[in-house]
Structures are given as C-alpha cells and as structure tokens.
C-alpha cells in the first residue's frame, strides 16, 4: 500500500477506538499517535498531490443494511477470546459469487436493495491438527451506518465433506472481534478437505471508502456510480466471511453479477466476456488467482474507460489503465503512466527473475475518484487515487509527475514483495512496505536517471525516518505487540515505510553488489510463502561477499548486527573524537537519539543505554570536486571499508583492526597536519540510519571547508552537505550533546552559494522549526532579518524579474520526452521562491503578485475542462511548477485582498484536476485577513470541500501564526461537527510552545471527558508542547544570539 497522502487519514484508528472498548489503552496510543506523526511528516516532504473529485458523501443515502438476520448468541461456554484466528484450519480455495445492487445513476438511488450485495462463498478448508472442533473465521456483522458489514443466520451455514453434508451444532457470532465460530457436530480430521458454504449472505456497499464501497463521477449533472473493494489490511471481512489474516493463503475464483450497463467489471483474475442472465443482469466470471492472502482480493464494478499496451510485445500479456473516460482522455490517454508501469515491471522481472506474467495473465491499474489510501497493490488489479496514477501534460507539476512514477514503482514492487512473498503477520509490515519504499527509489533511479533521485533518498526517506523515530512512542520495525485493529493500522504509518526502506538501504550499502544476489535467492526460496524478518536476515548472512585483495569470501552475520535496528525503536548517534596523532586514533561513543520531551510521560523510564551495531564508514577531507563523502559507486562501499561498532564506547584503533581489509589512512589529529582538508566525516552518503557528532575542532574545520569561497561546498558531496546540516540541527535541538547552534549557523553560512535542492531544502525544513518556535515572540524579527538577508543574496541570482524561475515550463511526456529543466533544479527553484516570499523578500513578492494579476486578468482556469478540444487549450493558463507560490503569495500580498480571495475561491469549483484544486485551497489559506480565513474554515463544514480535502485545510492554515490561532478556536467551537479530529489536533497544536497554550489544550481535553477517542492524540500533542516549551526555556537564547551575529555573516557574492 502506498501511504495515505492526505492528512490524518487515520479514521480507522480513531473510529475503532470507539467501536472496540476492549483494546487496551496502549493499543490506542500506538494506533493513533504514530499514524499521525507519520502523516504530518509525509505532508512536510511530499506536498499533497491528491484530492478527490466528485462524490459528495453528504447526499449519499446510508448504507445500513436493514434488519440483521445474524443471531448473536451468548449461550454456551465462553470462547477463548482472541483477535487472532487459530492456525488449526487452513483455507485453500474460495468460490465467491457476489451480486451487486449498484444504482447506475442518481435516478436509481432510491430503488429497493440499492447499495446492497448478496453473496455466496464456498471455502475449501483443511484442518492442520487432529480433532478440530470448531471453524473460526472473520465476518464483520455489526458496524455503524454507512460502514461495510455482512449478515447471515446460522441456517445459512453449511459444511460438507465431498458431497456429504455434515451437521453443524451451533454458530456463534462475536461482533466485538469480527469473528464467527462454527461448531460442527463431529470433530474434523487432520488433512481432510471440507467445504464450508455460507449462502445468500447480505452485505452493504459502504459509503466510508472502506471494504466494498461506492464512489462516483459526475459530468453535466449526471452521477455515474461505481463500486470497488479495498481490503488491506483487515477489511475483507466486510465483504465476505473469510480468514482475514495475511498468513492464510488461498486461491480465489470470483463471479460478479451486475447490471449489464456496467461495462467495465474487473477482479484480480482475467475476466471472460460477461454472460447475460436476464432482466438486464450480467454474470462475469474471473479466472482463479494464484495463492494469496485475502487482503489482496478486489472487485471493480464500473463504466470506466481503458487504455492497454502489450507488455514487451508478449502475446496476451497486457498492462491496462482504467479510469473515468473523461479523465483518461484529459490525461493524455495515460501514456506516461503506461510507460512507467512497463519500465517498473521490466525492472522487477529482470532484477528478481520472477516474471509477473508467470503468475498473472494481465495487469490492470485503476484510477479511482475516491480512494482511502494513495494506492494499494491488489494482485492483478492495482488501485490508485486518480491523482497518483494520472499525469496530465501541461497541468501536473514536475513533483507530482515524479510522485506518480514513484507510486507506480512502489505498487509494482509489491507484486513480488507483498504478494509473491507476504509478511507472516502485521508485526513485520515493514517486510512489505519497507521493501516497496526502498525499491521505488531503486527503480526510479535506474529507469529515470535524468531525475537525479539517488541523491535525494536520504532527504526524502532517511531523514524522515529519523524524525519519526526520535520519540520513545515510536514503534519498532518489528512489533510483536500487534493484535488489535488500531495496532495494525499503526504498522501502516510512515515509520514502517521510511525506516524499513532506510534499513534496507543500509544493508545494501554494507553488502555492495552481493545484496541483489542474496535478495534473488530470498525471493526464490520463499515465493508463495509468508516470511518474517529472520528469514531475510538468514539469507543475507548466507551470501558470500568478496572482500580484500586477493579477494576472499566472507559472510556477514546480519542476524546479530541487524537485530537492534529491527526489534527496538530508536537509532544511535555516534560521537567521534580524534584524540591522538595516529590515523585511527579516534574514540567513539554511541548514544540513543531522542528529541527532548521535557518532563512529559513519553520519555519516563526510557532506555538510553541501548547500543546498536553501527556499520561505520569514514571519509575525510580532500580537494576534488564532489569528493568528500561521495559514495563513489551505486552499490555502496563494500564490506572492506566498513567497521562494525558494537560497543557503547571505545577506540577505533582497537575496535577496527582491519579484518575486512586495509583501512584508508584517516588523517591524524592536528597539529601534525593542519591542512584545510584535515577532518573526518562519517557515514558518507548517509547510507546508515544514524547521526554523527564530532569533536568541536572537527566541526570547525568542516565549516571552514564548506565556507571556502563560492566553490568550497562543491568539494563536498551534496548528500553530505544536507546530512551535516540535518545532524547538526537535530543534535543542537535535543540539548543532549555538546553542540550549540553556533555550529549549525557556521555550517550554513555558505547557503547563498548552495544550488542543490537536497541540502538547501534540508536547511529550510530545519529553519521552519525555529520559525514555528519564534514566530509569536519578540525575537521573530531576528529570524526574519536573517532569512531576508539570505534571500536578498539568493533571490537576485535568479536573474531578471520574470526570468525562467517563474516560468510555465512543462515537462514533456512524449516517447523521447525532453523535460525542460531538471527535476532537482525545478524543486530547488521552488524552495527558494517559497521561502523568499514567505519571508517577504521584496522582489519575490513583487514577482508573485504580478504573475497572479496576469493570471486573474486572463480569467483562465488552471486545468483543462473534461470535454477536451484544441480550442479549449487556449482557455487554460497554467504554470505547473510555480502554481503554489504564485497563487499563495498573490493572495497574501494582494492590494485587493478580499476581491482576489473571492475570485480564487470561485475558481476552486471550476477546476477539473485534483492537484489544481489542492493548490487553490492551499493558497486560500495564505490570506492575512482573519475574516477570509474564517470563511475558509467554514468550508470544512459546509460540504463545498470534500472531507479528505477539508483536513488539509487545517494543515495549510497552520503554516501561519494567525491561521494556527483561528484553527485552534474553530476546532474547539466545532468539535462535534468535524471528522478525523486526531490529525487536526496534531496539526493545529504542533507549534504550541507556551504554558498558556499547554493549559488551553489540557483544559479542552478535560472538557471532552475521559472516554473521547482522541485522548491519545491530545497526549501526544501535550508531549510535543512540553518539548517545545523546554526548547524555548533552554535553547531560545542560544538561537537568538546566533541570529543576531550570523545574519550579517553571509558571504557577499
């Protein structure tokens, strides 16, 4: 699954907190806290690319399936209560027939049985133990109105062996745990096949975008309905009785009965031509799937259009993209998405030697107007939000384009990692998601080299993981305590993705080119099986690695080296101090990295003494361009340049005897060599997921080196520049290390010369924390003065006003497409423009407002209308790369604030592309006028903005101090009318840093009573506020005194 890109899509956690009173508090704490922390950060580094289009859920009739036929029996002995199914029965095959009562358009919404299903499932089962006396499986038989559930009575349950009916004594429904227990009269034999049938059970096509749910598109006043099933990780039980856990692999044969006007009906297997069965109904049967977990099952009932290519010209091997026909047309007939899909699939086939079409006969990918996640990897029918699959030439920004390619690569890598091999249980979710995150960058690096993504992976993933994992409330990658639904949801937070991906990247760095050889063996050995992390570590440890000269084969004991990284939360900082003149006369000390949390409960009793096995690689000063800290080759460093640091403290001289070959001569401590290149840098390329601290003299020399004239920094690899800034900022922020903000600002003095996206964006992201802390204090002027001075130097470098920096350049997408401007350059421009205008650098604001005026005067929309024609194109004025800045600062610095805001507001409904609508909402939040911001907040309630977008509004608002205050008041006043409130609490309070704000949050939380589901979100928010207050008490003076000195220390070009 691709992580949800919308804010706080963690309804699951919050809602289920209410539904299940049973889960222990800890479950809820994990479930909600980390879902949130992750979505926040995802948002920071990956701008919202997706909003949804037309379905107005408020007018959708409720999906309550009427009187339940399910009998809830409480008779008989108490059943051992557990949320995990017993392993005593293995499902082997499902025959599912589902009749779908879906209205075709709005005229049919009030027909009887609308939004219902009737299903029959036959499950072939085999006991794996002797004398099994019950069959326990999942069925969600109770749910709130509008949410998916199924109903049946004991009389609809039948069991047979061959053709002999077996009597069933009793059927027990346990709705509190979504479980049904069937007691046959006689015990079942180990190894014998039985068939369990549940006939004509009733179901619901839900309105909450979970399980089997309804969605629609609207054109010219007509609504076209569709239904689609999204199960991962635990929602199959909402559509069919099943064994809804990943380790139960079965094959599935699906038949769908549907109104014949739904012309595009799909499932995982290939579909034959539908067979008319009378009364306007059609029956479509799909070929049997490979053995897979039920969460990968899906169906789609729609009128979608389709575009298809033959994969590598192989007969009958097709890749198709499905979606609303208007959207396919308007998105260049999805040429780009088809090309990216082919490239990603070829890469996976080639790398792992398990060709996709050996197991599936087709690959469908559907773009859905409503989708609760970014995308999900259902085998043979991958589901996406429209915005994550459809690239619109001329409208989609470079960043969205890269994101679309990334989501496609992510999902197609799941065809092996997730589908062919599946984690045994969600405790090891990272075995699916960490791999997909890691591989999406590997694939993009190889298939779209011109984008230069390799150097951005540390920024996009490793640094994100380190932010999330800096609190003790973070879960370990392997979390044995996953039982409840909130705990499962929690495992799908960004941490599993980003840290999982970072750990895999670290292992690749250690193994070099041997890494993929080992992965190929891992895949071959475990295909069609379920895996846990020990399986992976064992295979990696078996792989011979050639080291030294002459080459000898060695093995690395990953089982012991990687254990702490996987089974514990957190990560280390290693402090290196040069203590003598010898080349390896360096002491080390490792310590867990924790962001401070004051006296809050989160860090009480935290184990700070834990040690990791750190794969240490050293680099040192040199004088070649881009050479300091450069990894040098694609496959990492190779084992012979690496030393495993396993102790808490020690000396490299004794801990790294060089058994892996000869070490490079690290430079001696001054004064024996005082050259400008005499410093060390550890963890080049930020390949390891750890931070590094140095002795003060080393930090000083690094800063001198970086600041040596306009080209000094260019001697250092760009990843290393960003890594040094990120490490220094965060080490200073904790207060736990001997490093002050002087080190941070000394490092950043060269920033006027920095022209690379990664390091510059890292600096700006970290400055944003200082901005959040200082913006309501008397010291804010010092920060703005520093930033304005920086951008007074930096902005004019952009050349004359209206130069290409604000250009409307569009990435071409034709076969040999020449993309105008490199991806990283466009991104770099955007960071500069956004920050320059944010700090009100005069020329930047002038440029933004004049661009905005031009656009307004032209009165043209940002995206093409659905009915595309070449004449229509003339009515569109777009500036895909700089749209966010032009609209936001055009509104913010406007002389006609109200009029311009109203104009933009009216444009929102005219736009047909989700990304354009998101840009407009984001810009509306940039206003300085309180009354206009209030109107924007009202849009979260009045139905003019879709629910998922309305949560983004809170996030956009809190970029600004006034917006933050208004949002907090609005949240308190309208608490009962808002949904997904946990994420709003997190967003709105993120910058709170005064004792008064702390009291307000505490008081409000208390006023809601002890049982409110958002309590964990409040606890987390309070921890953060406490940390911010402590930072204000202890660090603000240090920062302010540095700002006062450093604002005038920038080099003058």
Residues noted as catalytic: 411
Q: Which is nearer to Zn ion, 245 or 433 (CB)?
A: 433
Contacts of residue 185, defined as CB under 8 A and 6 or more positions apart, other chains included, come to: 166, 167, 168, 169
Q: Which is nearer to Zn ion, 240 or 415 (CB)?
A: 415
| Span interacting with Zn ion, options 109-117, 234-242, 428-436, 1042-1050, rule CB under 5 A | 428-436
- Contact present, 390 and 323 (Cβ < 8 Å): yes
- Token pair 């490239």 in the structure block, residue: 343
Please report, as residue ranges, which positions from 693 to 732 form the binding site for Zn ion (by CB under 5 A): none
Beta-carbon neighbour count of residue 222 at 10 Å? 12
| Span interacting with Zn ion, options 345-353, 430-438, 551-559, 777-785, rule CB under 5 A | 430-438
Min dist. Cβ of residue 538 to Zn ion (A) = 24
- Token pair 């479930």 in the structure block, residue: 31
The answer to whether the annotation marks 603 as part of a ligand binding site is no
Does 1 contact Zn ion by CB under 5 A? yes
| Span interacting with Zn ion, options 431-439, 470-478, 653-661, 725-733, rule CB under 5 A | 431-439
Does 436 contact Zn ion by CB under 5 A? yes
| Span interacting with Zn ion, options 28-36, 389-397, 429-437, 576-584, rule CB under 5 A | 429-437
Min dist. Cβ of residue 40 to Zn ion (A) = 19
- Contact present, 667 and 678 (Cβ < 8 Å): yes
Q: How many residues bind Zn ion (CB under 5 A)?
A: 3
Q: Exposed/middle/buried for 810, CB within 10 Å: 0-12, 13-18, 19+?
A: buried
Tally of CA atoms within 13 A in the half-sphere of 938 that contains its CB? 7
For residue 985, the SS3 value is: helix
Find the Cα–Cα–Cα–Cα dihedral 787, 792, 793, 799, rounded to 10°: 130
Q: Which is nearer to Zn ion, 157 or 531 (CB)?
A: 531
Picking from 175, 148, 150, the residue whose alpha carbon sits closest to that of residue 63 is 148
Phi, psi of 592 (to 5 degrees): -70, 140
The per-residue b/e assignment along 273-301, b for 16 or more CB within 10 angstroms, e otherwise, is ebeeeeeeebbbbbbebbbbbbbbbbbbb
The answer to whether the annotation marks 433 as part of a ligand binding site is yes
Min dist. Cβ of residue 50 to Zn ion (A) = 15
| Span interacting with Zn ion, options 213-221, 248-256, 435-443, 896-904, rule CB under 5 A | 435-443
Q: How far apart are CA 334 and CA 325, in angstroms?
A: 11
User: Which phi-psi region, left, alpha or beta, contains residue 683 (left: φ > 0; alpha: ψ -120 to 50)?
Assistant: left
Phi, psi of 9 (to 5 degrees): -85, 35
Q: Which is nearer to Zn ion, 386 or 433 (CB)?
A: 433
Q: How far apart are CA 130 and CA 809, in angstroms?
A: 69
Q: What is the chain's alpha carbon radius of gyration, rounded to the nearest angstrom?
A: 29
Picking from 571, 445, 416, the residue whose alpha carbon sits closest to that of residue 508 is 445
Q: Which is nearer to Zn ion, 497 or 855 (CB)?
A: 497
Beta-carbon neighbour count of residue 711 at 10 Å? 10
Min dist. Cβ of residue 479 to Zn ion (A) = 17
- Contact present, 338 and 319 (Cβ < 8 Å): yes
- Contact present, 349 and 332 (Cβ < 8 Å): no
For residue 349, the SS3 value is: helix
Min dist. Cβ of residue 240 to Zn ion (A) = 23
Please report, as residue ranges, which positions from 85 to 104 form the binding site for Zn ion (by CB under 5 A): none
Min dist. Cβ of residue 410 to Zn ion (A) = 6
For residue 276, the SS3 value is: strand
What do you get for the CA distance between the two ends of the chain, in Å? 47
- Contact present, 985 and 1021 (Cβ < 8 Å): yes
Calculate the CA 895 to chain-centre distance. Answer: 39
Q: Which is nearer to Zn ion, 411 or 1014 (CB)?
A: 411
Min dist. Cβ of residue 417 to Zn ion (A) = 9
Q: How far apart are CA 729 and CA 746, in angstroms?
A: 11
The per-residue b/e assignment along 947-958, b for 16 or more CB within 10 angstroms, e otherwise, is bbbbbbbbbbbb
Q: How far apart are CA 102 and CA 154, in angstroms?
A: 27
The answer to whether the annotation marks 331 as part of a ligand binding site is no
Length of the chain: 1053
- Contact present, 222 and 303 (Cβ < 8 Å): no
Min dist. Cβ of residue 434 to Zn ion (A) = 9
Token output for 915: 């990304």
* DSSP at 667: P
Phi, psi of 300 (to 5 degrees): -135, 125
Find the Cα–Cα–Cα–Cα dihedral 147, 153, 154, 156, rounded to 10°: -100
Min dist. Cβ of residue 433 to Zn ion (A) = 5
- Contact present, 101 and 214 (Cβ < 8 Å): no
Q: Which is nearer to Zn ion, 374 or 1016 (CB)?
A: 374
Min dist. Cβ of residue 376 to Zn ion (A) = 7
Min dist. Cβ of residue 2 to Zn ion (A) = 5
Q: Which is nearer to Zn ion, 409 or 724 (CB)?
A: 409
- CA distances to 399, 457, 738 from 84, rounded to whole Å, are 41, 37, 48
Q: How far apart are CA 464 and CA 479, in angstroms?
A: 20
Q: How far apart are CA 206 and CA 55, in angstroms?
A: 13
Q: Which is nearer to Zn ion, 282 or 376 (CB)?
A: 376
Q: Which is nearer to Zn ion, 27 or 436 (CB)?
A: 436
Q: Which is nearer to Zn ion, 405 or 751 (CB)?
A: 405
Q: Which is nearer to Zn ion, 207 or 429 (CB)?
A: 429
Min dist. Cβ of residue 414 to Zn ion (A) = 6
* Feature table: binding site for Zn(2+): 410, 414, 433
Binding positions for Zn ion, rule: CB under 5 A: 1, 433, 436
* Feature table: binding site: 410, 414, 433
């Amino acid at each position: 699954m691709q992580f949800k890109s919308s804010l706080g899509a963690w309804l699951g956690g919050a809602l289920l907190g209410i539904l299940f009173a049973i889960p222990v508090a800890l479950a809820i704490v994990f479930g909600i806290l980390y879902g949130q922390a992750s979505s926040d950060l995802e948002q920071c580094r990956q701008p919202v690319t997706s909003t949804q289009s037309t379905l107005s859920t408020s007018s959708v009739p409720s999906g309550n399936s009427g009187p339940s036929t399910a009998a809830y029996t409480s008779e008989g002995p108490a059943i051992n209560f557990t949320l995990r199914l017993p392993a005593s029965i293995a499902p082997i095959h499902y025959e599912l027939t589902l009749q779908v009562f879906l209205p075709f358009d709005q005229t049919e919404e009030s027909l009887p049985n609308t939004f219902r299903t009737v299903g029959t499932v036959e499950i072939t089962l085999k006991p794996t133990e002797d004398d099994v006396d019950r069959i326990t499986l999942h069925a969600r038989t109770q749910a709130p109105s509008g949410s998916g559930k199924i109903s049946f009575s004991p009389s609809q349950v039948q069991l047979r062996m061959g053709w002999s009916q077996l009597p069933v004594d009793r059927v027990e429904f346990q709705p509190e745990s979504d479980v049904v227990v069937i007691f046959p009269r006689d015990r079942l034999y180990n190894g014998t096949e039985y068939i369990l049938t549940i006939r004509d059970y009733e179901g619901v096509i839900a309105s909450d975008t979970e399980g089997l749910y309804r969605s629609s598109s609207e054109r010219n006043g007509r609504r076209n309905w569709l239904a689609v099933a999204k199960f991962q990780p635990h929602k199959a039980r909402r559509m069919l009785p099943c064994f809804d856990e990943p380790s139960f692999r079965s094959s599935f044969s699906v038949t769908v009965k549907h109104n014949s006007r739904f012309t595009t009906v799909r499932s995982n297997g290939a579909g034959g031509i539908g067979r008319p069965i009378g009364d306007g109904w059609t029956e479509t049967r799909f070929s049997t799937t490979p053995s897979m977990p039920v969460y990968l099952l899906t169906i789609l009932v729609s009128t979608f259009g389709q575009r298809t290519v033959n994969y590598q010209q192989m007969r009958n091997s097709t890749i198709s993209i499905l979606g609303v026909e208007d959207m396919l047309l308007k998105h260049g007939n999805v040429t780009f998405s088809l090309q990216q899909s082919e490239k990603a699939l070829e890469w996976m086939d080639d790398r792992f030697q398990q060709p996709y079409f050996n197991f599936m006969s087709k690959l469908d990918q559907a773009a859905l107007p409503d989708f609760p996640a970014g995308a999900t990897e259902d085998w043979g029918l991958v589901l996406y939000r429209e915005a994550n699959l459809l690239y619109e030439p001329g409208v989609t920004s470079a960043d969205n384009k890269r994101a679309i390619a990334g989501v496609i690569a992510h999902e197609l890598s799941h065809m092996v990692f997730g589908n062919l091999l599946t984690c045994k249980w969600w405790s090891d979710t990272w075995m699916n998601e960490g791999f997909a995150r890691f591989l999406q960058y590997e694939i993009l690096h190889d298939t779209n080299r011109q984008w230069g993504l390799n150097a951005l992976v540390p920024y996009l993933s490793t640094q994100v993981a380190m932010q999330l994992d800096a609190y003790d409330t973070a879960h370990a990658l392997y979390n044995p305590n996953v039982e409840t639904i909130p705990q499962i949801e929690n495992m799908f937070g960004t941490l599993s993705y980003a840290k999982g991906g970072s750990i895999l990247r670290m292992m690749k760095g250690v193994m070099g080119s041997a890494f993929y050889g080992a992965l190929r063996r891992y895949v071959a050995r475990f295909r069609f099986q379920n895996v846990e992390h020990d399986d992976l570590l064992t295979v990696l440890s078996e792989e011979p690695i050639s080291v030294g000269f002459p080459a000898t084969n060695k093995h690395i004991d990953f089982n012991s080296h990687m254990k702490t990284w996987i089974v514990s939360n957190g990560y280390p900082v290693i402090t290196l101090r040069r203590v003598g003149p010898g080349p390896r006369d360096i002491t080390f000390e490792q310590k867990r990295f924790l962001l401070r949390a004051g006296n809050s409960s989160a860090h009480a009793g935290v184990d700070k003494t834990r040690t990791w096995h750190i794969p240490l690689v050293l680099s040192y000063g040199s004088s070649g361009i881009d050479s300091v800290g450069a990894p040098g080759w694609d496959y990492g460093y190779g084992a012979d340049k690496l030393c495993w640091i396993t102790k808490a403290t020690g000396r490299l001289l004794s801990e790294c005897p060089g058994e892996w070959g000869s070490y490079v001569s690290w430079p001696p401590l001054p004064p024996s060599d005082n050259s400008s290149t005499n410093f060390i840098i550890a963890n080049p390329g930020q390949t390891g997921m750890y931070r590094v601290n140095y002795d003060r003299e080393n930090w000083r020399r690094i800063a001198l080196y970086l600041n040596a004239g306009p080209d000094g920094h260019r001697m250092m690899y760009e990843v290393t520049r960003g890594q040094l800034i990120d490490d220094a900022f965060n080490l200073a922020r904790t207060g736990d290390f001997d490093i002050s903000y002087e080190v941070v600002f000394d490092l950043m003095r060269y920033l006027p010369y920095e022209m690379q996206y990664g390091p510059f964006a890292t600096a700006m992201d970290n400055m944003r924390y200082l901005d959040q802390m200082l913006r309501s204090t008397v010291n804010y002027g010092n920060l703005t003065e520093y930033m304005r001075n920086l951008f007074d130097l930096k902005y004019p470098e952009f050349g004359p006003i209206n130069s290409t920096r604000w250009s409307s350049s569009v990435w071409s997408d034709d076969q040999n497409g020449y993309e105008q401007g490199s991806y990283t350059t466009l991104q770099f421009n955007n960071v500069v423009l956004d920050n320059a205008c944010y700090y009100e650098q005069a020329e930047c604001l002038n440029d933004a407002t004049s661009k905005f005026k031009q656009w307004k005067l032209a009165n043209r929309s940002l995206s093409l209308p659905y009915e595309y024609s070449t004449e229509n194109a003339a009515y569109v004025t777009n500036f895909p790369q700089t749209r966010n800045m032009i609209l936001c600062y055009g509104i913010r610095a406007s002389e006609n604030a109200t009029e311009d805001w109203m104009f933009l507001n009216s444009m929102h409904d005219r736009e047909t592309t989700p990304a354009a609508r998101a840009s407009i909402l984001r810009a509306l939040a940039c206003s300085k006028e309180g009354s206009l911001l209030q109107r924007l907040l009202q849009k979260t309630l009045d139905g003019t903005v879709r629910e998922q977008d309305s949560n983004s509004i809170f996030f956009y608002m809190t970029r600004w101090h006034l917006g933050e205050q208004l949002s907090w008041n609005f949240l308190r006043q309208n608490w009962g009318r808002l949904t997904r409130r946990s994420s709003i609490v997190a967003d709105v309070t993120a910058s709170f840093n005064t004792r008064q704000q702390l009291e307000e949050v505490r008081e409000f939380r208390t006023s809601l009573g002890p049982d409110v589901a958002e309590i964990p979100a409040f606890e987390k928010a309070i921890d953060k506020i406490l940390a911010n207050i402590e930072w204000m008490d202890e660090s603000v003076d240090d920062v302010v005194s540095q700002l006062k000195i450093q604002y005038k220390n920038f080099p003058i070009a």
